[in-house]
Amino acid sequence: MQVRITVSGGKITDVTALQVPDGNRRDQEINDYAVPILRQQALAAQSAQIDTVSGATVTSDGYRESLQSAIDAAHLK
């Protein structure tokens, strides 16, 4: 999982999933469902402190880790 954030005025204005697990059809189904929810949570929280999406624990964990790395790289609090 790899995400990129867009920052404007010190706030996260967008989160884009650049890489998602896509090894099989089930991965794709989970991502199609979970990634938009994770994006909404990240924008609302303005942090990586977001909830795990039910049924998508691995995707959620990877999203959070990548999001935190992007936030750290952007020097956001």
Q: What residue segments make up the domains of the chain, in order of their start? A: 2-73
User: Per-residue pLDDT tens for 47-72?
Assistant: 999 999 999 999 999 999 999 999 99
Q: Which helix (H) or strand (E) holds 16?
A: strand 11-19
Dihedral sign from CA coordinates of 16, 28, 36, 50 = negative
Q: Give 23's pLDDT tier (boundaries 50, 70, 90).
A: confident
pLDDT in tens, 28-53: 999 999 999 999 999 999 999 999 99
CATH assignment of 2-73, among 3.90.1010.20, 3.30.499.10, 3.30.70.20, 3.40.50.2000 = 3.90.1010.20
Of 22 and 54, the one with more pLDDT: 54
pLDDT confidence of residue 21: 82
